[in-house]
Chain A
Amino acid sequence: AQKVTQAQTEISVVEKEDVTLDCVYETRDTTYYLFWYKQPPSGELVFLIRRNSFDEQNEISGRYSWNFQKSTSSFNFTITASQVVDSAVYFCALVEGGADGLTFGKGTHLIIQP
């Protein structure tokens, strides 16, 4: 069965600090996709990234970067030079090849203090 663990319930940092959100997943499938979504205080879910199990290249998008390591079953998310607008709950999610829908972690509440 697939499972996603986000061990960090809440993280609080001061603006401009770098912060890494951890995501560890479990799956028996060799074909799967990993996602990160952002849920700002307004409540909607905003898609950030999708990565398949055959592509372990790290990805950078502006201040955001993702580190995918199959050896440790992790897909961590780093925000560089954090800003107050980054304050949100961030969800990591997994879908296996034969699954019906996404399996979400419980989320990490990120607080960026000015």
Chain B
Amino acid sequence: NAGVTQTPKFRILKIGQSMTLQCTQDMNHNYMYWYRQDPGMGLKLIYYSVGAGITDKGEVPNGYNVSRSTTEDFPLRLELAAPSQTSVYFCASSPIAGGPLETQYFGPGTRLLVL
């Protein structure tokens, strides 16, 4: 059981470039989430999904897009990267029973630097 995996671990982007952060979980969790962590701050919710084909915005969705075609995968797309998107991105998942009220299990994070 690998849990939640994220790729890449680290990436440098130039302003205006695009990229996709990958997230996969093997726990058969229906709920998945993307958070960002800025230096010295807690995590903030970007997008979440309650199951395949269903996604919704969190607190800070601007500049990002998501899709959920399978239960296992929840990629995060950055279009036209900006320096303000420099952050550490965490993917998480939780079982369906209580959705967000359940324990969320986090991936190792992707560190993104936009220059």
Residues of B92-115 contacting chain A, CB below 8 A: 92, 100-101, 103-109, 111
Is B74 close to A, CB under 8 A? Answer: no
The number of residues on chain A lying at the interface, defined by a beta carbon within 8 Å of a beta carbon of chain B, is 23
Question: Chain A 78-112 against B: per-residue CB contact (8 Å), 1 yes, 0 no?
Answer: 00000000000001010101011111111100000
The answer to whether B108 and A100 touch across the interface, beta carbons within 8 angstroms, is no
The answer to whether B42 and A45 touch across the interface, beta carbons within 8 angstroms, is no
Interface centre among A45, A103, A105, A107, by most chain B C-beta atoms within 10 angstroms, is A45
Q: List 15 A-B contacts (CB under 8 A).
A: A4-B42, A35-B103, A43-B109, A43-B111, A44-B108, A47-B104, A91-B42, A100-B45, A100-B56, A100-B100, A101-B104, A102-B35, A102-B100, A104-B43, A106-B41
Shortest CB-to-CB span from B6 to chain A, Å, is 10
The answer to whether B109 and A44 touch across the interface, beta carbons within 8 angstroms, is yes
Q: Contacts A100-B58, A106-B40 given: A33-B90 contact, CB under 8 Å?
A: no
The answer to whether A101 and B42 touch across the interface, beta carbons within 8 angstroms, is no
A-B contact count (CB 8 A): 59
Shortest CB-to-CB span from B28 to chain A, Å, is 18
Among candidates B33, B42, B58, residue contacting A107 with C-beta atoms closer than 8 Å: B42
Residues of B within 8 A of A33 (CB): 101
The answer to whether A100 and B42 touch across the interface, beta carbons within 8 angstroms, is no
Q: Which residue of chain A lies nearest to B104 when distances are taken between CB atoms in the complex?
A: A102
Residues of B within 8 A of A (CB): 33, 35, 40-45, 48, 56, 58-59, 88, 90, 92, 100-101, 103-109, 111
Is A50 close to B, CB under 8 A? Answer: yes
Residues of B within 8 A of A50 (CB): 103
Residues of A within 8 A of B (CB): 4, 33, 35, 37, 43-45, 47, 50, 52, 91, 93, 95, 97, 99-107
| Cα–Cα distance between A97 and B100 once the two chains are bound (Å) | 8
Shortest CB-to-CB span from A24 to chain B, Å, is 14
